[in-house]
Structure 1
Amino acid sequence: MADTITPTPSLEELQHWTWVLGRAQQMMLENGFDLATAKPADNPYAAMFDPSAAMRAGADFWADTMQLWQRFLDPAHAQPFEETPEQARDRRFKAPQWREQPVFDFLRQSYFTLADHLLKGVDALEGVDPHQKEQIRFATRGFIDAMSPTNFPATNPEVLEHLVDTNGESLLKGLGNMLNDLAKGQLTQVDPHAFEIGRNLAVTPGKVVKRTPLYELIQYTPVTAQVFRTPLIIFPPWINRFYILDLSPEKSLIRWAVEQGITVFVVSWKSADATMKDVVWDDYVEHGQIDAIDTVRGLLGVEGVHAVGYCVAGTTLAATLAVLAARGQADRVKSATFLTAQVDFSESGDLRLFVDDDQLAMIRSLGAEGFLDGRYMAATFNLLRGRDLIWNYVTNNYLMGRDYVPFDLLHWNSDVTNLPAKWHLSYLTDFYRDNKLVNPGAMAIGGTPIDLGQVTTPTYVQAGREDHIAPAQSVWKITHHFKGPLRFVLAGSGHIAGVVNPPSSGKYQYWTNDAQAGSLSEFLAGAQENKGSWWPDWAGWIAARDPHKVDASGARIPGEGALPAIEDAPGAYVRTR
């Protein structure tokens, strides 16, 4: 029914929507004036409101509202609505009805107008702590995304047409989807039956060769006659399942690395339960990363390993390198690769907005049993991209009643992991709030002070240009602290797609710059853009660290060395819920 014609809006309809817009602005102004006249002692927010600025904002708003009116009452003589590039790209309004049908065109323009003025109002705030202003802007953007006319059946033309086309079945199916999600306490983003670990996810052949109360160590089966002498050990983030790096075979970084002749080990972290109530950061460094590194060294009889740390495991890997350097054991890691990992949290993005006293108190209460339910962290990450990861699915799943899309990455995104409550709270306070890791001696592991300036390990740093979790500017700061040879690569896309980008896909690009650069902007100014995946660049860098190869036999075969195979990959911990 794409050619359905909606009648021209009546005068009453236009008056109603103009009243809604005006009332919203009036409420903002009223609150502003009330707070502005209050004494600072009575209200600490009083200083943020300037009556003259509010009046100017109101005048601008009403001028834009009058232009809206004119476009509908006298479109032939009205100034056309000028979309910003961001508004023109907004996928929520891609359906032609939003421009071709007067009622919905009016709703779209009204929404953009009000959203623009709400954000301008935040920008105009004065006398506000910068962190608090960021929180206000984040909350305002969340409100703007939530109030979009695409999120309500009566104001979304596609929902209305689909409702008629399906004789109301879409409404009933959507209601069922919503009730199921409410019952399980988590938004469904993907067909829950399309994927299964060990069947079409995490299927790279290998064996679990070690299991501790904190992690399982998986060794993968070689597929080449010879392999590089120095093995690779991957530390994925413990806030997610490790198989983000072993999705469907064509997307698996682990499988691809094995095919390049690398002996690959992966740590599969245990999802936290009440037995892990006393687990702290020291455990993830000492009994996690260092223990796994030493296990691989002993198993294969090698001096050192290549280590990879993804996201928060990269933050921990930085501390591991500093601890080993302080103990005179730096040669145990021949090279380190950091995937979208932060060590300096001074510009760590929107996640910093979740570490004020109220948020920390709530997290403390949620972790009373010793662990934090992974659904909380999943909801937090979804909020960072609410338009794509929340409201998009509200519209498709609930309002449209559509079938869930089978998408392996979204399946992984929904496969939540519980976190040790004590450690997670320390992580937020010590890193995001207090930024201790970059202060020499401010933190210690097993009595060994951490000083990132002592790290001379050859380092490969990958960042995502559109990363909303570990912003590229924040990841870049690793270059300010490590002293060893370092290669920085900026990949297209974000925190996940920028990492999981196999060469066979032919997607995205990455930027390199062999010249010295003091800042990310300086790096970009002289960078070379390379089409496709950064994986081959990384594999070449790894090979250059130690090009020597050995036969893929003996301990290089999982279970044939000193550590017998416990079970087939992907192991038990990744399946524990």
Structure 2
Amino acid sequence: MTTNETESGEKMELLNANLAKVEELSLRLAEVMGHHKPLRNELNAPEPEVFMTAATAYWQNMLNDPGKMIENQLDLWTKSVKGFVDAQNLILKGQFAAPQDDTPTDRRFSHPMWKTHPYFNLVKQQYMRNAEAIRKSVGELEGLSGKDKQRIEYFSSQIIDMMAPTNFLGTNPEVLEKAVATEGQSLVDGLENLIADLESNNGELLVKLADENAFEIGRNIATAPGKVVYRNRMFELLQFAPTTDTVHEIPLVVFPPWINKYYILDLKEQNSMIRWCVAQGYTVFVVSWINPDRSYSDVGMEDYITEGFLEAIAKVKSICDQPKVNAVGYCIAGTTLHLTLSLMKQHGDTSVNSATFFTTLTDFSDQGEFTPFLQDDFIDGIDEEVEEEGILRSFIMQRTFSFLRSNDLIYGPAIKSYMMGEAPPAFDLLYWNGDGSGLPGKMAHQYLRELCQSNKFVGDGVELCGKTLKISDVDVPICAVTCETDHIARWRDCFHGFQQTKSRSKTFIVSQSGHIAGIVNPPSKKKYGHFTNKKLKGTADEWMEGATFHEGSWWPRWDTWLSQKSGNQIPKRTPGTSDFPVLGDAPGTYVLEKATK
């Protein structure tokens, strides 16, 4: 027996052994799924009437204009048959090559074999033809309402993404190559990754995006020096240690969103906005919200306003012995800061000297990419979920956000982890993204029904805390920072709400990039620029047409704005006082609590 034959035999034995492991792991997988309690149907798909409406519209269009439908089908058939014939002709000529490929560039198909191998190229081309045919058919549907059309477009797009040949072992050359090169070990590792993810989420499939063992809160992320100086059932108040000899007189209190943890603003030293603000001479306080369990089911928006925002503002004023604070609200916390300012206006409370809003929506008249999830069938399902569970569990929100970018946040990572057996990357931002929080049941219901669906805050007002709160009550100096490619809080929608405040001093900024990267954009990186325009009347597009682009981060521009509203320089403040003794080191204890499954 030759050396090559021996090596070949050993490889075959290893491959067979790994395939046997796959069978063993399959039994473990079956056990995991046997204990899985599926989500209610309303949270997995729209009500059947949505698809019935689309089918009826398609049938009606066919009756009204059968020529167009037949023309579309013939076009697909012609391209499909031609692609097959071209591939066959090359093979008959003895050429192992792909036919001409005029399909658009798609990074999912970056592996060379998608272009060079006749089989994989044919599969790719046919998938892209089918996808285009579906999009065209949906795009030409008539007789549907705007929201129904958006929903059909969204769910058809999800089907298209799900059925990509890259998502299947037999039609992904990169996966097959690695399986052969590793004698099947990549498949074993991938199945182990899959089972581990299922086990950690009670049978729900949430692709782990980052290596959780690479990070530890307080050790290599969320490390800005500071102290916990106050705690109640809603939040811990963190005061960060000064790094300058003098500080601005008026303190800065930051309210992060409670859907995720505060340390998005303190990931690493190089991109920590908290550290940067401290270095500019601000006394920085940050609210670290509780990760609610089922006992918080009756906590509503009014509790976040009174026991959260108002309480934090009062405690910061007392600690610093100052009558005013400057406040920052990020995403949903920015929305709630607006509600708080409306309530304070009606109470004659002038504690907030200025307010800054990061990626904040207040006008929900255009629900954008969230339209499919903000209709009654889905919200009814969420109401039933929170009625049963007491909270809106974190993984439900995480899954929803992921499907808005399914190729980047679901299928791409799943291919790497489950089909190629690769460990997730050590990426701090993705680690933070997976460290979610739940929402109290009452609060989730109010936010979705009163604000997102009914859009009351910019209309007749929303009833909270015994008052009718309206955006027109907001009249403190404000600065809004939005992000150009943000798909969660689109900058144009943020602009519409921003315009409806009654503040006489307004600044609006559009940063390049998205919901996170556009905000966490330190000057040292010199990565993303930003747009400004002092003319705030007219449409958002008119604002952008007249805007000036500036290279680099918006942080220094905001610092110039904020410093003018922060009073004189005074000696630096050490965290805590005799009335507010230090309760522990930052990042505190609330940030360590994991979301309820």
Q: TM-score range by the shorter chain?
A: 0.7 to 0.9
SS at match of 2:213: coil
Q: Which residue of 1 aligns with 2:200?
A: 184
- Quote the Cα distance in structure 1 between the aligned partners of 2:225 and 2:54: 60
Q: Which residue of 1 aligns with 2:150?
A: 134
Match of 1:477 among 486, 492, 496: 496
1:20-419 matched pairs, under 5 angstroms: 46-49=56-59, 50-51=61-62, 52=66, 53-69=68-84, 71-73=86-88, 80-83=100-103, 87-88=104-105, 90-185=106-201, 186-329=206-349, 331-367=350-386, 368-419=388-439
- Any stretches of 5+ residues in structure 2 without a counterpart? 1-49
- Quote the Cα distance in structure 1 between the aligned partners of 2:464 and 2:580: 28
Q: Which residue of 2 aligns with 1:568?
A: 585
Q: Say how many residue pairs are matched.
A: 527
Q: Does the 8 A contact of 2:99 with 2:118 survive in 1?
A: no
Deviation at 1:263, TM superposition (A): 0.6
Show CA shifts across 1:364-416 (max 9, x none). Answer: 23222322221111111111111100001111001111122100000001112
Q: Does the 8 A contact of 1:455 with 1:482 survive in 2?
A: yes
SS at match of 2:154: helix
Code of the aligned partner of 1:92: R
Q: Does the 8 A contact of 2:131 with 2:160 survive in 1?
A: yes
Q: Which residue of 1 aligns with 2:480?
A: 461
- Quote the Cα distance in structure 2 between the aligned partners of 1:57 and 1:177: 42
SS at match of 1:545: coil
Q: Which residue of 2 aligns with 1:558?
A: 575
Deviation at 1:426, TM superposition (A): 1.8
Q: Does the 8 A contact of 1:491 with 1:498 survive in 2?
A: yes
Deviation at 1:74, TM superposition (A): 5.6
Q: Does the 8 A contact of 1:48 with 1:128 survive in 2?
A: no
Label 1:92 to 1:462 Cα distance change in 2 as closer, same or farther (>3 A).
same
Q: Does the 8 A contact of 2:54 with 2:152 survive in 1?
A: no
SS at match of 2:212: coil
Code of the aligned partner of 2:357: F
Q: Does the 8 A contact of 1:232 with 1:262 survive in 2?
A: yes
Deviation at 1:444, TM superposition (A): 2.6
Provide TM-score, normalisation by structure 1.
0.88
Q: Does the 8 A contact of 1:237 with 1:312 survive in 2?
A: yes
Deviation at 1:55, TM superposition (A): 2.4
Q: Does the 8 A contact of 2:326 with 2:566 survive in 1?
A: no
Deviation at 1:172, TM superposition (A): 0.4
Deviation at 1:91, TM superposition (A): 1.9
- Quote the Cα distance in structure 1 between the aligned partners of 2:367 and 2:563: 32
- Quote the Cα distance in structure 1 between the aligned partners of 2:474 and 2:208: 43
Q: Which residue of 1 aligns with 2:559?
A: 539
Show CA shifts across 1:413-451 (max 9, x none). Answer: 1112121012102211112211111113x3133212212
Show CA shifts across 1:106-161 (max 9, x none). Answer: 22222221111111111111111211111111111111111111111111111111
- Any stretches of 5+ residues in structure 1 without a counterpart? 1-39
Q: Does the 8 A contact of 1:352 with 1:432 survive in 2?
A: no
- Quote the Cα distance in structure 1 between the aligned partners of 2:533 and 2:79: 46
Provide TM-score, normalisation by structure 2.
0.85
Q: Structure 1 vs Structure 2: percent identity of aligned residues? A: 39
- Quote the Cα distance in structure 2 between the aligned partners of 1:127 and 1:447: 43
Deviation at 1:355, TM superposition (A): 2.3
Code of the aligned partner of 1:566: L
Code of the aligned partner of 1:151: N
